[in-house]
């Protein structure tokens, strides 16, 4: 069903990303949060962006104000994934319990078409959906931030963009991790950007070097002064269109003008006493998370214990079935009727789990998507914010690959996404995360590519309980799932739940990827005897989360990155 050479390519990508992740250390400035905090908290991928968010909260901004400021600050300080040239999703819950989600996912340009990444023989052209101008969807992040602020923001827009402008213009000292990422991306930056880019230096980047991004500062000034029109019209739109013309890209000025983010009702579900509020399609994340939680709810996970063989076996079997469904039924709901109710039907999910046998792994070849009518370069990023009143925001945003397509818009100084790879280029052929898809997620003009991003908010007893999410491509869903179980079933505090080692199965390829030392040798051997293929590898995801207790807010900032939690 899938191409061995593409799987190999996905495995190599995973391997490279893993090396990249494990070879670089966390920024010493990164901060594991103390807590409890009563007045607000921000947990995100860089110390500088967390500080920007905290300052906004201290100035009287609400969670959405802080989120807007963090989004722009991450575009400067976390160029691998923070972005204005990408897209994302926001899940929002007001202090009173009203919920909403904002879909600012990128869209296929008007000139996009189903077979655009195939050669004349009908084969997928290697890297065409990843490292070319055609790889970019129409960016949604700036419109998303404008829209979120218009609906919920309290402070002045300009004051939320300004901190990012200052960071871009004055520069900031880069972490060891970012130095490693920039050195890793160097050859591609050189190849794909004929002009000068500030991501290239004559010598290797090292920790503490100053990264100054003057062109980005100017673009952010236009966004500060003109809002949406600072990006989707005028100088920046001209520059994007010129960049596209120069590189045979598809995004036109009309595509930019026509881009609008969409408010969608959150999808909600229950797990024991908890209400899960999460992202609907075009993310697969929310539906898959609810399917997974229901699939394991009846089993005594608490008694079996964290990462014990029975726990892992049950979770893997649930994941296998859920990712099979994902491959067939999930796509942009504006183009494809996603059978949400059927996928979340409790009887359907119970019946799916009935085919599982404790004595032996279910081969993925015997599981097909239900019948009713990655790998990771990990370069997505998540942030969780709660303010003094208890309004909360869970945002995951992405360029897709590390530094997206690695193509900077000439003159405008920001990176373009390579999100088109999240579409299914050809039925059954895996994308860079090893995920396969078909009609539901085929490429179409104006359609949003399917995502795994799973920004989530949880209530207990009608009150805010947790804000959670992570990057990690196809592993996003399983990392969020495990973090929730770590708290609810395994009594871990927020930081432990984030730090705990994770594992992942996604139906195809039929293997369990585990972080190094995630399972003890006895558990591995029991699972292997039952036919599970266990592959030990590098870090998976970077979860940033906040837990609300009667004492206040506690954060979990992922030590796998430079992630930092700050509160007051």
Q: What is the 3-state secondary structure (H, E, C) of 224-244?
A: HHHCCHHHHCHHHHHHHHHHH
Question: Given the complex with ligand GLY, which of 62 and 454 has the nearer CB atom?
Answer: 454
Question: Given the complex with ligand GLY, which of 48 and 431 has the nearer CB atom?
Answer: 431
Any contact of residue 397 with ligand GLY (CB under 6 A)? no
Instruction: Single out the residue of 175, 313, 400, 479 in contact with ligand GLY (rule: CB under 6 A).
Output: 400
In the Cβ-directed half-sphere of 301, how many Cα atoms lie within 13 Å?
Answer: 23
In the Cβ-directed half-sphere of 432, how many Cα atoms lie within 13 Å?
Answer: 31
| Maximal CA-CA distance, the chain | 63
* Three-class DSSP category at 279: coil
To the nearest whole angstrom, how small is the minimum distance from the Cβ of residue 380 to ligand GLY?
5
The DSSP H or E segment spanning 328 is helix 309-329
Any contact of residue 425 with ligand GLY (CB under 6 A)? no
Catalytic residue among 99, 101, 380, 456: 380
Q: Which stretch binds ligand GLY (CB under 6 A): 129-137, 272-280, 403-411, 450-458?
A: 450-458
Question: Given the complex with ligand GLY, which of 473 and 556 has the nearer CB atom?
Answer: 473
Any contact of residue 376 with ligand GLY (CB under 6 A)? no
- x-or-dash string of contact with ligand GLY, 180-199, rule CB under 6 A: --------------------
The answer to whether 91 and 456 are in contact (CB under 8 A) is yes
* Three-class DSSP category at 22: helix
555: which strand partners? 546
Any contact of residue 464 with ligand GLY (CB under 6 A)? no
Instruction: Single out the residue of 453, 458, 497, 514 in contact with ligand GLY (rule: CB under 6 A).
Output: 453
Question: Given the complex with ligand GLY, which of 164 and 279 has the nearer CB atom?
Answer: 279
To the nearest whole angstrom, how small is the minimum distance from the Cβ of residue 351 to ligand GLY?
28
Q: Which stretch binds ligand GLY (CB under 6 A): 40-48, 148-156, 445-453, 525-533?
A: 445-453
Any contact of residue 83 with ligand GLY (CB under 6 A)? no
Question: Given the complex with ligand GLY, which of 32 and 479 has the nearer CB atom?
Answer: 479
> Rounded to whole angstroms, what are the CA distances from 446 to 106, 179, 245, 337, 433?
9, 36, 19, 16, 23
Among 487, 511, 488, smallest CA distance to 499 is for 487
To the nearest whole angstrom, how small is the minimum distance from the Cβ of residue 457 to ligand GLY?
19
Instruction: Single out the residue of 62, 132, 452, 506 in contact with ligand GLY (rule: CB under 6 A).
Output: 452
d(CA 60, CA 37): 16
Question: Given the complex with ligand GLY, which of 452 and 500 has the nearer CB atom?
Answer: 452
The DSSP H or E segment spanning 159 is helix 157-170
Instruction: Single out the residue of 175, 392, 398, 478 in contact with ligand GLY (rule: CB under 6 A).
Output: 398
Instruction: Single out the residue of 143, 147, 239, 422 in contact with ligand GLY (rule: CB under 6 A).
Output: 422
Q: Which stretch binds ligand GLY (CB under 6 A): 177-185, 240-248, 448-456, 526-534?
A: 448-456
Q: Which stretch binds ligand GLY (CB under 6 A): 198-206, 385-393, 449-457, 478-486?
A: 449-457
Tokens at residue 365, please? 């070849």
Torsion angle defined by CA atoms of residues 235, 241, 242 and 247, in that order, rounded to the nearest 10 degrees: 150
Any contact of residue 473 with ligand GLY (CB under 6 A)? yes
Q: Closest-CB residue for ligand GLY?
A: 451
Q: Tell me which DSSP letter residue 564 carries.
A: E
| 380 in active site | yes
Number of Cβ atoms within 10 Å of the Cβ of 207:
16
Q: How many residues belong to the site for ligand GLY (CB under 6 A)?
A: 9
> Rounded to whole angstroms, what are the CA distances from 94 to 285, 386, 545?
22, 10, 17
Any contact of residue 278 with ligand GLY (CB under 6 A)? no
Q: Which stretch binds ligand GLY (CB under 6 A): 288-296, 446-454, 543-551, 559-567?
A: 446-454
Tokens at residue 167, please? 């960071």
Tokens at residue 485, please? 């179980």
Question: Given the complex with ligand GLY, which of 52 and 288 has the nearer CB atom?
Answer: 288
To the nearest whole angstrom, how small is the minimum distance from the Cβ of residue 453 to ligand GLY?
5
Angle ∠(491,494,496) on CA atoms, nearest 5: 75
Tokens at residue 199, please? 């991501």
DSSP of 196-230 = --TT--SS---TT-EE--HHHHHHHHHHHHHTTHH
Question: Given the complex with ligand GLY, which of 324 and 488 has the nearer CB atom?
Answer: 324
d(CA 327, CA 471): 20
Distance of CA 217 to the CA centre of its chain: 25
Any contact of residue 443 with ligand GLY (CB under 6 A)? no
Any contact of residue 537 with ligand GLY (CB under 6 A)? no
> Rounded to whole angstroms, what are the CA distances from 11 to 22, 314, 410, 485?
16, 25, 32, 28
To the nearest whole angstrom, how small is the minimum distance from the Cβ of residue 282 to ligand GLY?
9
Number of Cβ atoms within 10 Å of the Cβ of 515:
21
Q: Which stretch binds ligand GLY (CB under 6 A): 135-143, 271-279, 451-459, 527-535?
A: 451-459
To the nearest whole angstrom, how small is the minimum distance from the Cβ of residue 401 to ligand GLY?
8
Question: Given the complex with ligand GLY, which of 18 and 452 has the nearer CB atom?
Answer: 452
Question: Given the complex with ligand GLY, which of 317 and 378 has the nearer CB atom?
Answer: 378
d(CA 141, CA 460): 31
Any contact of residue 431 with ligand GLY (CB under 6 A)? no
Any contact of residue 392 with ligand GLY (CB under 6 A)? no
Whether the CA torsion 109, 110, 112, 113 is positive or negative: it is positive
Give the interface with ligand GLY as residue ranges (CB under 6 A). Answer: 380, 398, 400, 419, 422, 451-453, 473
Q: Kindly list the catalytic residues.
A: 380
């Amino acid at each position: 069903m899938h191409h061995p050479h593409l799987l190999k390519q996905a495995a190599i990508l995973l391997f490279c990303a893993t090396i990249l992740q494990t070879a670089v250390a966390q920024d010493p400035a990164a901060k594991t949060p103390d807590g409890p905090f009563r007045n607000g908290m921000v947990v995100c991928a860089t110390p500088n962006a967390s500080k920007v968010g905290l300052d906004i909260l201290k100035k009287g901004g609400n969670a959405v104000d802080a989120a807007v400021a963090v989004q722009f600050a991450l575009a400067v300080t976390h160029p691998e994934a923070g972005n204005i040239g990408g897209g994302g999703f926001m899940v929002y819950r007001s202090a009173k319990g009203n919920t909403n989600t904002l879909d600012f996912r990128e869209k296929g340009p008007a000139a996009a078409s189903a077979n655009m990444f195939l050669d004349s023989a009908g084969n997928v052209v290697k890297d065409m959906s990843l490292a070319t101008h055609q790889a970019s969807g129409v960016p949604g992040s700036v419109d998303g931030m404008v829209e979120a602020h218009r609906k919920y923001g309290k402070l002045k827009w300009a004051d939320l963009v300004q901190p990012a402008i200052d960071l871009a213009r004055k520069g900031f000292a880069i972490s060891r991790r970012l130095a490693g990422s920039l050195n890793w991306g160097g050859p591609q930056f050189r190849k794909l950007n004929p002009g000068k880019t500030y991501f290239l230096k004559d010598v290797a980047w090292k920790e503490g070097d100053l990264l100054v991004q003057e062109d980005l500062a100017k673009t952010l000034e236009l966004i500060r002064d003109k809002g949406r029109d600072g990006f989707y019209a005028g100088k920046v739109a001209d520059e994007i269109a010129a960049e596209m013309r120069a590189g045979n890209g598809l995004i036109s000025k009309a595509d930019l003008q026509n881009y609008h983010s969409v408010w969608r009702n959150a999808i909600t579900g229950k797990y024991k006493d908890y209400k899960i509020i999460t992202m609907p399609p075009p993310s697969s994340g929310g539906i898959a998370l609810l399917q997974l939680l229901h699939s394991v709810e009846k089993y005594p996970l608490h008694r079996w214990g964290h990462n014990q063989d029975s726990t892992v076996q049950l979770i893997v079997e649930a994941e296998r079935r859920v990712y099979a469904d994902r491959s067939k039924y999930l796509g942009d709901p504006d183009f494809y009727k996603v059978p949400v109710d059927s996928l979340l039907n409790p009887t359907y999910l119970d019946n799916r789990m009935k085919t599982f046998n404790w004595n032996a792994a279910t081969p993925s070849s015997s599981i097909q998507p239900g019948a009713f009518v990655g790998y990771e370069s990990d370069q997505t990023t998540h942030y969780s914010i709660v303010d003094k009143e208890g309004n909360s925001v869970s945002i995951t945003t992405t360029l897709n690959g590390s530094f997206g397509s690695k193509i900077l818009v000439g003159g405008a100084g920001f990176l373009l996404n390579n999100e088109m790879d999240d579409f299914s280029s050809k039925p059954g052929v895996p994308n860079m995360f090893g995920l396969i898809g078909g009609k539901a997620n085929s490429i179409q003009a104006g359609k949003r590519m399917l995502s795994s991003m799973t920004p989530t908010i949880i209530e207990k007893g009608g009150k805010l309980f947790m804000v959670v999410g992570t990057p990690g491509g196809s592993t996003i869903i399983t990392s969020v799932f495990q973090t929730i179980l770590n708290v609810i079933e395994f009594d871990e505090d927020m930081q432990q739940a984030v730090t705990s080692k994770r594992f992942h199965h996604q139906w195809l390829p039929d293997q369990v990827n585990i972080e190094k030392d995630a399972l003890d040798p006895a558990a591995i051997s029991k699972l292997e005897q039952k036919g599970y293929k266990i592959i030990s590898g590098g870090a998976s995801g970077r979860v940033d989360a906040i837990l609300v207790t009667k004492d206040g807010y506690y954060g979990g900032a992922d030590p796998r990155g430079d992630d930092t939690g700050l509160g007051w």
